[in-house]
Amino acid sequence: MPKIDLNAIPHRTGSTYPAPHNAGFEKRRTQQLGKSAGLTQFGANLVTLAPGGMASQRHWHQNQDEFLVVVAGELVQIDDHGETVLRPGDCCAYPAGDETCHHIVNKSDANGSFVVVGTHTPAETAWYSDIDMKVAVTNGHYAFTKKDGSAF
């Protein structure tokens, strides 16, 4: 199995969320590990959050599982049950269809990183608890709308 050269994978910053929900993501940097290695059945990304950064808006997935493992720093999972500090080696799992909304933030003074792995499905819907937004994904095309389906 070939080793993945992290230096050869471009970093992405920002967010694909529509305005105003895309604000505040300049402190998030992602590298698409799985895609760069030719994987198609699941995604694997290395996410680095600078102090004050967040990985996503709080959300849950109807059809896709998510799993993450912290690899550096100290991060905080915020979900419907409260806040949980995460350190290297700590793992989180979010089964498809579990309506517990979650996201990861960095409340520390140093960068923190995690690897997140998620299922690829032909269609997906994700819901965002704190804002009036959902996303429908079909064959890689993202359609962000309000929860009732109306446009922003």
140 assigned to some structural domain: no
User: What torsion do the CA atoms of 98, 100, 104, 107 make, to the nearest 10 degrees?
Assistant: -160
Instruction: Report the pLDDT value the prediction gives residue 1, as an integer from 0 to 100.
Output: 55
Instruction: Report the pLDDT value the prediction gives residue 48, as an integer from 0 to 100.
Output: 98
75-97 confidence digits (pLDDT tens): 999 999 999 999 999 999 999 99
Distance between CA atoms of 62 and 123, rounded to whole angstroms? 10
Residue 139 confidence class, pLDDT cut points 50, 70, 90: confident
Instruction: Report the pLDDT value the prediction gives residue 142, as an integer from 0 to 100.
Output: 93
100 assigned to some structural domain: yes
21-32 confidence digits (pLDDT tens): 999 899 999 999
- Kindly provide the residue ranges of all beta strands, DSSP E only, lying in 7-151, ordered along the sequence: 12-13, 28-32, 42-49, 59-61, 66-72, 75-79, 82-86, 91-94, 102-105, 112-119, 123-128, 133-138, 141-145
Instruction: Report the pLDDT value the prediction gives residue 11, as an integer from 0 to 100.
Output: 96
58-70 confidence digits (pLDDT tens): 999 999 999 999 9
Domain count, the chain: 1
Q: Which value, in Å, is the radius of gyration of the alpha carbons in the chain? A: 15
Distance between CA atoms of 22 and 28, rounded to whole angstroms? 11
The answer to whether the bond into 20 is cis (omega within 30° of 0) is yes
**% the chain with pLDDT above 90:** 95
CATH, residue 45? 2.60.120.10
Question: Is the pLDDT assigned to residue 41 strictly greater than 80?
Answer: yes
What domain range is 91 assigned to? 19-122
38 assigned to some structural domain: yes
Q: Rounded mean pLDDT of the chain?
A: 95
For residues 2-20, average pLDDT = 93
86 assigned to some structural domain: yes
More confident residue, 139 or 56: 56
Return the structure tokens found at 101. Answer: 């909304």
138: phi then psi, degrees, rounded to nearest 5: -130, 115
Beta-sheet pairing, 133-138 with 123-128? antiparallel
